[in-house]
Amino acid sequence: MATASASSFISLLLISSLLLASFTEAQKPPVAKGLSWTFYDQSCPKLESIVRKQIQNALKKDIGLAAGLIRIHFHDCFVQGCDGSVLLEGSTSEQNARPNLSLRKEALKFVDDLRARVHKECGRVVSCADILALAARDSVALSGGPNYDLPLGRRDSKTFATVVNLPSPFSNTTVILNDFREKTFNARETVALSGGHTVGLAHCPAFTNRLYPKQDPTLDKTFANNLKKTCPTSDSNNTTVFDIRSPNVFDNKYYVDLMNRQGLLTSDQDLYTDKRTRSIVTSFAVDQSLFFQEFANSMIKMSQLSVLTGKQGEIRAKCSVKNSNNLASVVEDVVEEAWSGII
């Protein structure tokens, strides 16, 4: 009797792990040409464990870093492609672009410190763009969100965009849907990506348009009064959390906020006001695992926007400077070439 139930338990386990395997296999989203799920398996097998460990340590000290890294990755991908261009010094228009929510100096420095550790272990084989994508992925997972695989093999750009068109916090749903459609995202994917606002902070000027001179009628009154205390003037330098229910946890509470008219930005709250996206918001508010699944798939898709691969771009020796502006890396390149000529 006991043996029978034990063996049926084991076969149940086997069946469910088989199901799980085929499920995750079937769910794997398309991979851009030149990227792969196993890109660094030979050249830098410890890459993912190094990144995971460093993010873990860093978030213990400053949980706010998670939102910063997610935001920087998003800006990187949305502006020119996921090519590390946002990390370049002098790409001030990218770094200073509105909403400048958490493009914080520390987060940018953190990415380069991470790069230094990775390069120390493996040599200069991993791009800053890949490190940033992994850092954002781990920030999501380690603050409570979904854990997903990322295809790797991105290369770093030698240029950055001078014109920056990020979605504006003041936009309504029509404009937001258009901005994201231009990047091939449908309405569900757009609403899922907006769920990144379940962590992090916004500065007053990103939402005081809803307080002054006239209060936005889609704003809950008590919530609005508290925001006015934090932002007594429209240009106050104060910040406040995006998600009042669980500001530092990656969960689906942001959508619950929207349903309670406690969304911070016009572009967030309007997703619930607008009939086209309202039911999507509700579906995520009532089902966290649905949100996690769609968020993960949308992030994997976003992380492959206009990537550089193969011989395009370069592997930066320092994330904030392209190699031709970095004397040490030029010398390194010459030496590498000399050696490869000899060998």
| Residues of this chain that bind ligand NAG (CB under 6 A) | 95-96, 100, 103-105, 172, 174-175, 229-230, 232-233, 235-238
Ligand-binding annotation for 167, yes or no, is: yes
Phi and psi at 99, nearest 5°, equal -85, 125
Q: Is 203 a catalytic residue?
A: no
Token pair for residue 107? 């987060």
Could you give the CA distance from residue 81 to residue 29 in angstroms, rounded to a whole number? 18
* Closest approach of ligand NAG to the CB of residue 180, in Å: 14
> Which of 8/93 has CB closer to ligand NAG?
93
CA nearest neighbour of 84 among 92, 97, 75: 75
* Closest approach of ligand NAG to the CB of residue 81, in Å: 21
CB closest to ligand NAG, residue no: 236
> Which of 94/189 has CB closer to ligand NAG?
94
For 296, other C-beta atoms within 10 Å of its C-beta total 22
Token pair for residue 38? 């196993």
Ligand-binding annotation for 83, yes or no, is: yes
> Which of 100/288 has CB closer to ligand NAG?
100
Token pair for residue 178? 């258009």
DSSP line for 60-100: HH-THHHHHHHHHHHHHHHHT-SSSGGGSTT-HHHHTPSP-
* Closest approach of ligand NAG to the CB of residue 172, in Å: 4
> Which of 38/237 has CB closer to ligand NAG?
237
Q: What is the largest CA-CA distance in the chain?
A: 75
* Closest approach of ligand NAG to the CB of residue 155, in Å: 25
Ligand-binding annotation for 294, yes or no, is: no
Ligand-binding annotation for 257, yes or no, is: no
CB-CB contact of 81 with 161 (8 Å): no
Ligand-binding annotation for 203, yes or no, is: no
Residue type, 73: H
Catalytic residues: 75
Q: Which residues are annotated binding-site positions? A: 76, 79, 81, 83, 85, 94, 167, 197-198, 243, 251
Known binding-site positions for substrate: 167
